[in-house]
Amino acid sequence: MKLKVFLTALLMTLSVSSFAQFFPAKALVTVLPGQVAAQVVNPYYQPIICNGQVFGQTAYGPVFNAFFLEQFLPAGGYRFAVVNALPGNPFVGGWANIHCRFAGY
């Protein structure tokens, strides 16, 4: 009996707390020779808060990055994050890791 109560309480806790957890956002990343830009869009009907990091790999090897924290995106809103390269060392690749969560009530 105690096991059933424990499992029920655990299941309810995990199902309710899943709404407060972060989820990966789809980022549109554009790589140009002098700049890597990442855009995240809020497709939901309620606001979200996002954290992310943008990376750019240069031709000579170093990886540059930029980050943003706790960016509020209203419904239909968007945010950009940009990394710039040094002259004479263009970007050859880029990617972004962006995680969002729904803004609580």
Query: pLDDT (tens digit, 9 = 90+) per residue, 18-76?
Result: 555 788 999 999 999 999 999 999 999 999 999 999 999 999 999 999 999 999 999 99
What is the residue type of 37?
Answer: A
Stated pTM of the model: 0.75
End-to-end alpha carbon distance in the chain:
35
Phi, psi values for residue 42, rounded to 5°: -95, 105
At residue 20, the pLDDT reads 59
At residue 19, the pLDDT reads 53
3-state secondary structure of 75: coil
Residue 81: pLDDT above 90? yes
What is the spatial distance between Cα 16 and Cα 41, in angstroms, rounded to a whole number? 25
Residue 17: pLDDT above 80? no
Q: Are 44 and 20 in contact (CB under 8 A)?
A: no
Close Cβ partners of 1 (under 8 Å, ≥ 6 residues apart)? none
Residue 101: pLDDT above 70? yes
At residue 22, the pLDDT reads 84
At residue 13, the pLDDT reads 65
At residue 99, the pLDDT reads 94
